[in-house]
Structure 1
Amino acid sequence: MSKSVIAIYPGTFDPISLGHEDILLRAAAMFDKVILAVATAHHKKTLFTLDERMDMARQAMAAHPQIEVVPFTGLVRDFARLHHAKVMVRGVRAVTDFDYEFQLAGMNRQLMPDVETVFLTPSAEYQFISSTFVREISMLGGEGDGRNLVSPGVYERLMAKKAAAA
């Protein structure tokens, strides 16, 4: 009997974008289970609360039962151990992402040598998307207000945040 491989994909996902979704689906095709680890983000000021980010991610991934959305705080190492993960998935869009992610992977290897980091690139149409761009375009009224960058449920939440801020 083969061993089940659990992967984690950690981040703040503020909000989850189509690029994140693309990486998740690619990872789900490779591993038995993928845990989307939504960070409390104590070091960042987020637009959405942890509960809102969790709800949006669960809604976006509802059709994919092998993807579980779970909150976490603290070190990814401790989260990985708790969930018996053997792989950490990281999305890389460009060389600048790779430089940072490469350093992070090296540090994580020191902290958790039994967990491999796997870098995945999004499809070409999603390579430019970042949560920062999504928030700025949506909140500042860019072309389409970010409708083409996130799933419909996330877009509705972005528009509600924009209306509340007005």
Structure 2
Amino acid sequence: MTLNSSHTDAGGLSHSIAVYTGSFDPVTLGHLHIIERASKLFDTLVVGIGINADKKSLFNPEERIELVQTISNHLPNVRVQTFDGLAVDFVRSLGAGVMVRGIRPLTDIAGEFTMMMANRQLDADIETVFLMADERFAHVSSSLLKQIAALSENDDHLAKFVPRPIIPSLRAKLAAPSV
């Protein structure tokens, strides 16, 4: 069962399609947990990987698509694609009426609230649904992952934070000389 599975609003946006946007660089167990939970709430969940040319990414967009697809391939209603520009414009371009945001206690709430209010002003037809991060993943960040990977060769340590299929790619990226 999904939230408003057949509901379309006056603006023609479907509330059965939700979009979860982020950089996913790298994708973490926290991201996967939000993807799995959101996929149960909506008929279709699009994971939108944001491309920000001004931000130095560890993985390029194609690699991030592949990594997110790898860890979400057990979810038939999830698809993955990249976007650039405003997330709210991307959500509208897909005909979706819902933007999913995962939030970590304390660290994300103020920023996510500000973003939600700005998105509402840009497009009042798109709703934001917040899913609180599981306490096991509430402290996970990409900088923490990079530090653990750099300081420990034990994959079991990394597996507490990233899906196991991601570990070889993460280690290879961190071992490669910077360009």
Compute the displacement of 1:142 (Å).
7.3
CA distance in 1, matches of 2:153, 2:132: 25
- The 3-state SS of whatever aligns with 2:53 is coil
Q: Bigger CA drift: 126-135 or 35-44?
A: 126-135
**Overall identity of the aligned pairs, in %:** 37
Match in the other structure for 1:19: 30
Amino acid of the structure 2 residue aligned with 1:101: E
Match in the other structure for 2:167: 155
2:6 pairs with one of 2, 5, 10: 2
Asked if residue 32 in structure 1 is aligned to residue 43 in structure 2, the reply is: yes
Q: Bigger CA drift: 45-54 or 100-109?
A: 45-54
Write 1 or 2 for the structure with the bigger share of helix. 1
Cα RMSD (Å): 1.9
- The 3-state SS of whatever aligns with 1:96 is coil
Amino acid of the structure 1 residue aligned with 2:165: G
CA distance in 1, matches of 2:147, 2:59: 13
CA distance in 2, matches of 1:117, 1:108: 9
CA distance in 1, matches of 2:146, 2:109: 23
Compute the displacement of 1:65 (Å).
1.3
TM-score, length-scaled by structure 2: 0.85
CA distance in 1, matches of 2:30, 2:170: 16
Compute the displacement of 1:120 (Å).
0.5
Compute the displacement of 1:43 (Å).
2.8
Q: List alignment gaps of at least 5 residues for structure 1.
A: none
Answer whether contact 1:137 1:143 (CA < 8 A) is retained. no
CA distance in 2, matches of 1:22, 1:74: 26
Answer whether contact 2:146 2:174 (CA < 8 A) is retained. no
Compute the displacement of 1:143 (Å).
6.3
Answer whether contact 1:19 1:130 (CA < 8 A) is retained. no
Amino acid of the structure 2 residue aligned with 1:148: K
Paired residues, what number?
A: 166
- The 3-state SS of whatever aligns with 2:130 is strand
Answer whether contact 2:105 2:133 (CA < 8 A) is retained. no
- The 3-state SS of whatever aligns with 2:107 is helix
The alpha-carbon distance between structure 1 residues 135 and 59, as it changes in their structure 2 partners (threshold 3 A), is same
